[in-house]
């Protein structure tokens, strides 16, 4: 029998109140929790200074960005659009590092503003050199190994297209020399695993790469602090993975006389368990002998795509609408509201329904999906089946829930359609 999951920051009363006042589905974030996670990240062991960059693709909402900014967190942007969004939220361009799979089309506008550029391929480095000879640049390397909770979240090694393959370092040097660039930062990002040995190994390789560039003063180890969502899943302890990494930096200083600054780029770590989705049971259907009890929620892959995309597991907590409920448990398959067979909230890796033990839900009960602060609101298959974008609420430090994003209207879903005369 699986363990029944618990609410992480809401109380059942709070969840009921928010459902009444803001409707369902609704994202809820805790400011207190976000700030605590910031403090933990900022305490990452380091020898000669630390910059924490939020991987804003995890949750680029304006309020989230402003909370992080107040805590002194900088930005890891995955696209030029994220750069613009961060600037609009009040970040200094120089506090933003652009690490993008696609070469930014607005590079010529962004760099003069002070935005820092992390070249992720030889082509990107060449383009940067052509446009900005003599300038400081940073390079993302693929150190040849990675660590991810699933194959799909592994971003290092031969199967990953992220960064410049470590064996191509000679070509990097050629381009750097050709354009008189100053390679001041070496960047790696290994994926979202929690293994301290992998962290140490990657830090070691990254420092070996850094040693080959005399101008390098900063080493960025990327994100990838695994965060457990379900009971029994491990959460990375920054103190544990950071200690050996700090020693490597100290040894580097002893050997080379260079005190490297460290950067980390947590996305998940700052947000995952500081966000939840409150939804409601819309329907319950049975599929006969040997079949299942399907619990249909009023949310789905248009609100959180992770179960459909990765068979990701999120805690589901049933909150009865009745005052006195005899808490009985059972095994159910939770499904989303999209007309799509893949919209299974509890699903096996590779697809197909998976049973989940929860309290027995009834139509109208609330179901809180936990662990949805990162890569949910930002990564949803928004507007599929024309469901509007989900509203968002922040529980502020005084405990009051505040609307921080309105529910999308039908007009907003349609606003860019252009009507043409079809004769
Ligand atoms: C996504 C990403 C991160 C954050 O990864 P998490 O697993 O959410 O911590 C950090 N750095 C880069 C370059 C990324 O693309």
Taking residue 327's Cβ as centre, other Cβ atoms within 10 Å add up to 9
- Ligand 1 neighbour 55 (Cβ under 6 A): yes
d(CA 210, CA 256): 11
- The topology under which CATH files domain 30-271 is TIM Barrel (3.20.20)
Distance 120 CA to ligand 1 centre (A): 14
Contacts of residue 74, defined as CB under 8 A and 6 or more positions apart, other chains included, come to 51, 52, 53, 54, 91, 95, 96, 97
Q: Please identify which of the residues 38, 120, 338, 339 carries the catalytic annotation.
A: 339
Burial of residue 190 (CB within 10 Å: 0-12, 13-18, 19+) is: buried
What number does the ligand 1 atom closest to the CA of 268 have? 8
Q: What is the pLDDT, as a whole number, of residue 196? A: 79
* Ligand 1 centroid, distance to 302 Cα (angstroms): 22
State the pLDDT at residue 38: 98
Q: What average pLDDT does the chain have?
A: 94
124, 126, 130, 134 alpha-carbon torsion, rounded to 10°? 100
Looking at ligand 1, which atom is closest to the CA of residue 267? Answer: 8
Q: Which atom of ligand 1 is found nearest the CA of 58? A: 8
CATH 2.40.37.10 residue ranges for the chain: 12-28+272-405
Nearest CA to ligand 1 atom 10: 223
User: Which of 76, 199, 306 to probe ligand 1 with, by most ligand atoms within 8 A of CB?
Assistant: 76
Q: Which atom of ligand 1 is nearest to the CA of 266?
A: 9
| CA 209 – ligand 1 centroid, Å | 20
| CA 146 / ligand 1 centre spacing (Å) | 13
Domain 12-28+272-405 has CATH 2.40.37.10: yes
Residue 58 beta carbon below 6 angstroms from any ligand 1 atom: yes
How much is the pLDDT for 336?
98
Establish whether residue 54 lines the binding site of ligand 1, counting it when its CB lies within 6 angstroms of any ligand atom: no
Q: Which residues of 399-417 are buried (b: 16+ CB within 10 A; e: fewer)?
A: eebeebbeebeeeeeeeee
**233 CA to middle of ligand 1, Å?**
19
Rounded CA separation 334/81 (Å):
35
Tokens 């000879």 correspond to what residue?
133
Residue 152 has pLDDT above 60, yes or no: no
Mutate to test the pocket of ligand 1, among 59, 64, 141, 223 (most ligand atoms within 8 A of CB): 223
pLDDT average, residue stretch 108-121: 97
**Best mutation site among 55, 146, 378 for ligand 1 pocket (most ligand atoms within 8 Å of CB):** 55
Average pLDDT of the residues in 105-114: 97
Top pLDDT among 292 and 150 is at 292
Burial 41-63 (b: 16+ CB within 10 A, else e): bbebbbbbebbbbbbbbbbbbeb
pLDDT for position 162: 86
Q: Is the pLDDT of residue 191 over 70?
A: no
The answer to whether residue 148 scores a pLDDT higher than 60 is no
CA distance 250 to 257: 10
Residue 78 Cβ < 6 Å to ligand 1: yes
Phi and psi (nearest 5°) for 190?
A: -100, -5
Confidence label for 325 from pLDDT (cuts 50, 70 and 90) = low
Phi then psi for residue 344, to 5 deg, are: -100, 125
208-242 pLDDT per residue, tens: 999 999 999 999 998 888 899 999 998 999 999 99
Note the pLDDT of residue 150: 45
Residue ranges of the chain that CATH labels 3.20.20.10? 30-271
Q: How far apart are CA 243 and CA 8, in angstroms?
A: 28
pLDDT of residue 145: 66
Strands 366-370 vs 275-286: parallel, antiparallel or unpaired: antiparallel
pTM over 0.75: yes
Range in 90-99, 248-257, 314-323 with the lowest mean pLDDT: 314-323
Q: Is 147 in the pocket of ligand 1 (CB under 6 A)?
A: no
Query: Using CA positions, which residue lies closest to atom 5 of ligand 1?
Result: 223
The reported pLDDT for the residue numbered 423 is 86
Q: What is the DSSP string of 352-396?
A: SB--EEEE---TT-EEEEES-SSSSTTT--TTGGGPPPPPEEEE-
Decide: helix, strand or coil at residue 403: strand
Tens-place pLDDT, residues 334-390 = 999 999 999 999 999 999 999 999 999 999 999 999 999 999 999 999 999 999 999
Burial class (CB in 10 A: 0-12, 13-18, 19+), 144: middle
Cβ(56) – ligand 1 distance below 6 Å:
no
Determine whether 38 is an active site residue: no
């Amino acid at each position: 029998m699986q363990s029944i999951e618990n609410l992480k920051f809401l109380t059942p009363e709070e969840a009921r109140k928010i459902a009444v006042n803001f409707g369902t589905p609704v994202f809820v974030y805790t400011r207190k929790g976000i700030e605590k996670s910031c403090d933990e990240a900022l305490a990452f062991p380091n020898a000669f200074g630390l910059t924490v960059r939020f991987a804003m693709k995890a949750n680029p909402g304006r309020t989230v960005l402003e909370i992080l900014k107040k805590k002194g967190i900088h930005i890891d942007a995955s696209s030029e659009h994220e750069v613009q969004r961060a600037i609009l939220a009040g970040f200094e361009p120089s506090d933003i590092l652009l690490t993008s799979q696609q070469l930014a089309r607005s590079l010529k506008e962004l760099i003069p503003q002070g935005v820092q550029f992390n070249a992720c391929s030889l082509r990107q480095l060449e383009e940067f050199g052509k446009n900005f000879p003599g300038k400081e640049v940073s390079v993302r390397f693929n150190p040849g190994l990675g660590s991810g909770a699933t194959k799909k979240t592994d971003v290092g090694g031969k199967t990953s297209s992220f960064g410049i393959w470590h064996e191509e370092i000679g070509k990097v040097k050629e381009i750097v020399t050709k354009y008189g660039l100053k390679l001041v930062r070496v960047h790696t990002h290994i994926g979202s695993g929690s293994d301290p040995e992998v962290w140490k190994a990657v830090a070691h390789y990254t420092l070996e790469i850094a040693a080959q560039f005399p101008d390098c003063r900063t080493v960025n180890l990327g994100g990838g602090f695994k965060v457990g969502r379900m009971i029994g899943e491990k959460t990375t302890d920054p103190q544990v993975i950071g200690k050996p990494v700090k020693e490597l930096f100290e040894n580097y200083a002893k050997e080379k006389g260079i005190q490297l600054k460290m950067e980390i780029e947590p996305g998940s770590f700052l947000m995952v368990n500081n966000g939840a989705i409150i939804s409601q049971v819309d329907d319950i259907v049975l599929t006969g002998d040997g079949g299942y009890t399907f619990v249909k929620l009023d949310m789905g892959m248009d609100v959180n795509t992770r179960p459909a995309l990765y068979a990701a597991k999120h805690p589901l907590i049933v909150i009865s609408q009745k005052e006195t409920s005899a808490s009985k448990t059972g095994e159910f398959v939770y499904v989303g509201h999209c007309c799509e067979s893949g919209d299974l909230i509890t699903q096996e890796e590779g697809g197909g329904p998976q049973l989940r033990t929860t309290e027995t839900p009834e139509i109208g009960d609330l179901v809180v999906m936990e662990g949805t602060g990162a890569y949910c609101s930002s990564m949803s298959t928004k507007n599929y089946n024309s469901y509007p974008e989900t509203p968002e609420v922040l529980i502020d430090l005084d405990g009051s829930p505040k609307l921080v994003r309105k529910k999308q209207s039908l007009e907003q879903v349609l606003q860019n359609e252009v009507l043409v005369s079809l004769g």
